[in-house]
Amino acid sequence: MKRKERYPLKDYRLAVLVCTLTMIVFAGGTTQAQNAGRTKPARPNVVLMVGDNVGYGDIGAYQGGAIRGMPTPRIDKLASEGLQLTHFLTEPGCTPSRAGLLLGRYAHRAGLGGIIVGGTPNTLQASEVTLGELFKSRGYATAIIGKWHLGAEKQSWPVRQGFDEYRVGVLETTDSTLYRPTMSRAGMPKQVIERTVPWIWEGDTKRGLRKVREYTVAYRRLIERDIAIAAVNYIRRQAAAKKPFFLYIGWTNSHYPSVSAPEFTGKSRSGPYGDAIMELDRRTGEVLNAIKAAGIEKNTIVIWLSDDGAAPMMGPPAYRGGSNGIYGGELGDGKEGGLRTPAIIKWPGRIAPRKSNEMVSIHDIFPTLARLIGAKVPADRPIDGVDQSDFFLGKRAKSKREGVITFIGTEIVAVRWRHFRIYPMAFFRSPGRPAMPGLGGSRAELNGIPAIYNIEQDPREEQNIAANHAWLVRPYLLTIGAYLKSLKKHPNPAPVNLTDFKPRR
């Protein structure tokens, strides 16, 4: 007689399965609970790279690159791996854009609405709160390498503005490499020349800054290489220290004079400008490789952008070549081409690779990074940037920005609302800039009605549609009105102006 089984086979198997699953769930839950009690999410490193006067039509992922004889494979690859913004707007010049980036507010609110020229009182004030200070408030190591262009006074030095160290430092602009030869030809006294020529600086918060070498055209050929070397060394050092860091890299290409290292000279089919773009691409790749080699790629936010549009008419013809793609305008004006630049944000596993035409302003980087690292945005001053973290992370489909104002000095020269660009005074071509307005352009008063252009339909801004789009005056006035209201509590400082010498009360 066969022994009767206590459990049917199918019930036994079911019981074993239930017990096994129970133990797995219990063990997993216990492990998760233990891990949650022991660790916190790692704060991301941030590497912010800023190109200098790189136009929308210069990079392959946008409207340039290989089709213009100057391939940019590394920046293109970065764009394919991150959020590629095709509607990123800056301010109309190096100083204003860098101020807007580091302060999160319109540059003229800090008195930095014009491009700083050495020897003038235009400089970043000690009372401003920079991205460097934002990251320091969260215990980050901070550094800047390369171009600053926010003032050479001690209070303006990066190491007095939240950055632990400064390497291969360009406090002013790259044009200044031409000062010594041009001043010598003009017969300026030697002592005046010595006070005016630019230098490369370095230092830290303890010792301040010191001069390293004169910034000459000859060294300008090598500076992008040295910026990349310093950035790679910093990334390696901080990865080994296992401390979160914020690294700001101020590239100098493709600013005039656009010369490049010997190994890039003559490599493009677009002349010296194309050579400079190709070197910029290579140096960008060296930084990206260092992040990967250090094993910190997954926990590092990489942001790559240009400070403003290209200047196609700047410098001798041999050094020209910048392009703002299909957009009209250039460096120094308020038109679309001078303000719409490449911008890419990569954060593996957190920011999904995609391309977006949603509007984002350079001012938005400040509050967005503040949110991502858990820092507090100053509440005692106007912040014109908006937090785009939910949009970047894919939690919302749309940008939180609908418009932005463009200033030259403190004057409103344009309002961007949705896909319309609206001008209180119209920009015109001038004899000095027959192709585009730019720094040498001019503006003229119309008959009391702003000029209006549909950027999507008319990217070169050739058809003023004000006559049948008068309804746009309402959002135009509301945008300006909100800004003017903020001035009642927070008036702007008097701007530095090199052409207006009327006495001020």
Q: What are the tens digits of pLDDT across the range 194-238?
A: 888 899 999 999 999 999 999 999 999 999 999 999 999 999 999
Q: For the residues 453-463, what does the mean pLDDT come to?
A: 96
Question: What percentage of the chain exceeds 70 in pLDDT?
Answer: 90
pLDDT tens digits, residue range 163-173?
A: 999 999 999 98
Give the per-residue pLDDT at 446: 83
**pLDDT class for 444, splitting at 50, 70, 90?**
confident
Distance CA 417, CA 111 (A): 25
pLDDT tens digits, residue range 272-299?
A: 999 999 999 999 999 999 999 999 999 9
Residue type, 148: W
Q: Which residues contact 188 (CB under 8 A, 6 or more apart)?
A: none
State the DSSP H helix or E strand holding residue 342, giving kind and residue range, or none if neither.
Answer: strand 340-346
**Helix, strand and coil percent figures for the chain, each rounded to 5:** 35, 20, 45
Using the 8-state DSSP alphabet, how is residue 91 labeled? Answer: -
Class of domain 45-402: alpha beta
Q: What is the chain's length?
A: 505
Residue type, 263: E
Largest CA distance in the chain: 122
Tokens standing for residue 419: 């896909």
pLDDT of 13 strictly over 70: no
State the DSSP H helix or E strand holding residue 303, giving kind and residue range, or none if neither.
Answer: strand 300-306
pLDDT tens digits, residue range 257-275?
A: 999 999 999 999 999 999 9
Q: Are 257 and 220 in contact (CB under 8 A)?
A: yes
Tokens standing for residue 316: 């001798």
CA distances, 59 to each of 41, 44, 74, 76, 496 (Å)? 35, 27, 10, 7, 34
Distance CA 126, CA 118 (A): 18
pLDDT tens digits, residue range 485-505?
A: 999 999 999 877 777 777 755
Tokens standing for residue 4: 């009767």
Nearest CA-CA partner of 334 in 429, 423, 465? 423
pLDDT tens digits, residue range 227-244?
A: 999 999 999 999 999 999
Please tell me whether the overall predicted TM-score, pTM, comes out greater than 0.75 for this model: yes
pLDDT of 435 strictly over 90: no
Distance CA 210, CA 201 (A): 6
pLDDT of 4 strictly over 60: no
Give the per-residue pLDDT at 102: 98
Domain segments of the chain as ranges:
45-402, 406-489
Burial of residue 178, with CB atoms counted within 10 A of its CB: 0-12 exposed, 13-18 middle, 19 or more buried: middle
CATH 3.30.1120.10 corresponds to the domain 406-489? yes
Give the per-residue pLDDT at 1: 39
